[in-house]
Amino acid sequence: MNRKITGHSDLLPNRKPGDPKFVDHPIPDKKGRRIFDVTMFSGEAAMLYTRLWRYYDYVDQFVIGILPRTFTNIPTNYSFWPFEEELKQFMDKVLIIREIPEDRIYKNLDSHKSFSYEHSWRVYFLEVIRQKFHPKNGDLIFASDLDEIITREGIEYLINHWPTQQIHPLTRHSQPNFLYDQGDWCCPVIFPYSDNMPDLLTLRKRVHITPITREVVATHCSWCFTHLENYTRKKNAYSHQEKNFWPKNDDSYTFRYHWCRFWDDWKMNFIKPGLAHTGTTLKNLLPDHPHLKYLTSPYYMLDITKTIWEYEDLDTMCTSNFPSREEWEKKAKAKGIYVIRTPLPVTEEAIFKKN
């Protein structure tokens, strides 16, 4: 049985009709209840813009952690480029946190030490919401990675069928943009607030539960970047450092899986062409902005000149193996791009040492 996500009962007039950042129809009545959205920003400006644009008309308060260092202890200098001006229209609802108290940083939260800094932020968010905004029992908290974003249709369904227990919306995982489907994803989580609820981290781990709908009502465009440098930065920064090794951390390898539309971070598989925004429309998926066109283009290609490849390699690249280390070194040196990237240390001391 398929249920259509409409969510248009009990509607109120739009607060600012005609404003392009708002939805183009009346919005559902939350009946005095509030929605909070918490997430972390690690330089993915396109996803931040998309998230705020989708959520603004429904969410009462955003809490965004802009991390002063990566999960691997690299000092950060993030910016909102190239969307600085566009994001200003949403900032009246945004609280930005740039640091958490040192005594809130967990160093032995679980067996995965490289995740402890990331987890510390998730734990701290609930404390901030309680202190700053005094939520009431039953208010909703959206907690997800920045690129795990509920669709507008999904939010309206939630408002009209207000959850009374922790849920996760059925999410479509896509790479390298919204047009390629890698299957279902589980991890955006929605919590009804309670004064007795544990931290968001503990709750977020309980994600393998029945989705609220059978339709896809959220998107997870993972590793959806415009430049090779974005991929390098992500690989050096995220918690999964066990995956940051040659050739996977090489630009030529990145170009190959991007061009061939396959992904092997978790497993090697070709990504199926197919819209990753089932249940919504392209108009409601992301803003109409020239710097976001790559997210819906089937033809977008990374910069081949920074790799060992030539244009004549494109026809055979996807059906042949990645070159051996010896072959790769020869080609890389010939093009002047010979760089060996080694994984960063992920010991507890390396992650938590003072900058």
Ranges of residues in the chain with a pLDDT under 50 are: 1-18, 20, 109, 111-112, 265-270, 276-277, 345-355
- CA separation for the pair 272, 96 (Å, rounded): 37
Tell me the whole-structure pTM to 2 decimals.
0.84
Tell me, yes or no, whether 1 lies in a domain: no
Query: What pLDDT is recorded for position 346?
Result: 43
Provide the pLDDT for residue 22.
56
Burial 83-94 (b: 16+ CB within 10 A, else e): beebeeebeeeb
Instruction: Please report whether residue 210 resides in a domain.
Output: yes
Query: How confident is the model at residue 13, as a pLDDT?
Result: 35
User: Is 306 part of a structural domain of the chain?
Assistant: yes
> Which domain range does residue 46 map to?
34-355
Task: Please report whether residue 15 resides in a domain.
Answer: no
Give the per-residue pLDDT at 212: 59
Residue 230 lies in a domain: yes
Confidence (pLDDT) at 48: 97
Predicted local confidence at residue 83, as pLDDT:
96
How many structural domains is the chain composed of?
Answer: 1
| Residue 8 within any structural domain of the chain | no
| DSSP 8-state assignment for residue 43 | S
Cβ atoms of 43 and 59 closer than 8 Å:
no
Q: How high is the pLDDT of residue 18?
A: 41
Give domain status of residue 190, yes or no: yes
Establish if 108 belongs to a structural domain: yes
